[in-house]
Amino acid sequence: MRRTLNTSVTLQGVGLHSGRRVAVTVSPAAAEIGIVFHRADAGADAKPIPARYDHVAGTYRSTRLVNRDGLSVATVEHIMAALAGCGITDAHLSLDGPEVPIMDGSALAFVRAFIAAGVRELGVPAKAIRILASVSAASDDRWAALVPAPGFEMAFSIAFADPAIGTQQKQLALWGNAVVSELSDSRTFVRLCDVAMLRRMGLGRGGGLDNAVVVDNGRVLNPGGLRHPDEFIRHKMLDAVGDLALAGAPIIGRYVGLKAGHDLSNMLLRAVFARPDRWEWCEIEPGRVPGGDLVAPTAKAPAARIAV
């Protein structure tokens, strides 16, 4: 069934790249509205921004959506992953700034807020996208694909020069509560040597050790260390969950990523929808997609300020 929140929740924080203080309010929506962003700071006449792959206008270091009037919202991937992980299909997201707050660098605060608010079914069957044949996208030595599988699964590989990250591989069946329990608390990360370059580009202005894992020549600089030994690849998988949620429906298939990022996930969705012979709409079978009986993960992180 399609699902929404029982009540609205508001979270406040800083934008990772803009450095601006921002609040996001997530509110219940009627069935088949989908996930829709609203820029409250742009005035009452501002058009909504649909959370769809074909509204992606930027993928460098985050995913940015834009509507036909040029109004945008950035860094949507973590809150989209939280919505997908909780099985929420319909919601209004209102922001008073240009970027979703980064919170602690993961999706944990959003997940906790959604579970606290409660999730309810809307009485309308939810559809899923079943992958019938392989579809792929590539860029240099980076690659991503969706292949047939009995449910939403993911196999990911990353390789970074810094030995604190190195080469990691992980496979997960992301059914039921798995996105919440396995991925939602894993934080974004950056190499210390890249920070100055990002800030010269106008990015990372809100970043710090409280909302990102920072590594430098084999060392993790955060005083608390990592939440998981493989937190880096878990976060890349979390990003992919959020970016794939822009398909507008859960995916029944296996995502395979080799050094993939926001750009390849979006390229892959565009390739899927350009090949209607390789997928079909289907009814969701219980337990084959994210959602289900939600339990907040235990994480070494303080609770964010949440208004329910």
Three-state secondary structure call for residue 113: helix
pLDDT at 281: 98
Element (H, E) at 197: helix 192-200
Degrees to nearest 5, angle at CA 197 with 20 and 102: 30
Residue whose entry in the numeric block shows the structure tokens 């040597």:
193
Known catalytic membership, residue 92: no
Q: Which are the contacts of 208, defined by CB distance < 8 A and separation ≥ 6?
A: none
pLDDT at 295: 74
* Of the candidates 227, 222, 211, 217, the residue with the CA atom closest to the CA atom of residue 164: 217
The backbone torsions φ and ψ at residue 75, rounded to the nearest 5 degrees and listed phi first, read 55, 55
Which domains can be identified in the chain, with CATH numbers?
A: 3-125+298-307 (3.30.230.20), 127-283 (3.30.1700.10)
Tokens of 12: 């406040």
17, 55, 92, 262: which is the annotated catalytic residue? 262
Contact predicate 220/226, CB 8 Å: yes
Q: Which residues of the chain have pLDDT under 50?
A: 302-308
In 191-208, which positions are buried (b, 16+ CB within 10 angstroms) versus exposed (e)? beeebeebeeeebbebbe
* Of the candidates 290, 305, 209, the residue with the CA atom closest to the CA atom of residue 251: 290
Q: pTM for the complete prediction? A: 0.95
CB half-sphere exposure, 196, CA atoms < 13 A: 1
Element (H, E) at 5: strand 3-5
